């Protein structure tokens, strides 16, 4: 059963935080799906991922192509995971239902702490996951570095 990590962004952008999280997830041997609600966010992220790391690029692809199943990182606005992702990183309120979390190793919810709607959506997601008995951690960077502020253990 997977766990959910909430990242309350107050200083970093979602893109910068993803660039920290992706190498860790891939280092764990996980395929990753980055899920957003809109294609524009994914296209901007796609362009950024071609530029890092400086000595190469982070292997990834946009969903909808013939090689989706081969992508170590798949950028998608769809609920399916054709690359057999073990980790889903959700941006801008992209939904991850509790039953999907149970099939994954990790879900990362990244949300803008300066956006009241994003904070409200993340709180609703936290309540939903906790109500489903899933493990969840809440991380905040408000103090200048990432700190775990809350944790819900499975029931």
Residue 111 sits in a domain whose CATH number is 3.40.50.10110
- Domain span holding position 93: 3-152
105-128 core/surface letters (b: 16 or more CB in 10 A; e: else) = bbbbbbbbbeeeebeebbeebbeb
Q: For residue 56, what pLDDT is reported?
A: 62
Q: For residue 117, what pLDDT is reported?
A: 94
Q: For residue 54, what pLDDT is reported?
A: 63
Number of domains forming the structure of the chain = 1
Count of CA atoms in the C-beta half-sphere (13 A) of 137: 12
CB-CB contact of 112 with 141 (8 Å): no
Q: Which residues of the chain have pLDDT under 50?
A: none
Predicted structure pTM score: 0.94
Residue corresponding to tokens 């296209």: 43
């Amino acid at each position: 059963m997977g766990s959910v990590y909430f990242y309350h962004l107050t200083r970093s952008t979602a893109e910068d935080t993803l660039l920290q999280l992706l190498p860790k997830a891939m280092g764990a041997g996980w395929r990753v799906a980055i899920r957003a609600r809109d294609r524009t966010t994914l296209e901007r992220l796609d362009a950024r991922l071609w530029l890092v790391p400086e000595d190469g690029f982070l292997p990834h692809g946009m969903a909808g192509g013939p090689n989706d199943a081969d992508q170590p990182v798949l950028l998608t606005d769809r609920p399916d995971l054709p690359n057999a992702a073990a980790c889903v990183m959700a941006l801008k309120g992209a939904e991850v239902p509790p039953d999907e979390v149970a099939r994954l190793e990790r879900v990362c919810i990244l949300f803008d702490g300066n956006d009241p709607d994003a904070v409200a959506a993340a709180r609703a997601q936290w309540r939903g996951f906790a109500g489903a008995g899933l493990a969840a951690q809440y991380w905040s960077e408000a103090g200048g570095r990432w700190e775990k502020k809350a944790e819900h253990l499975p029931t």
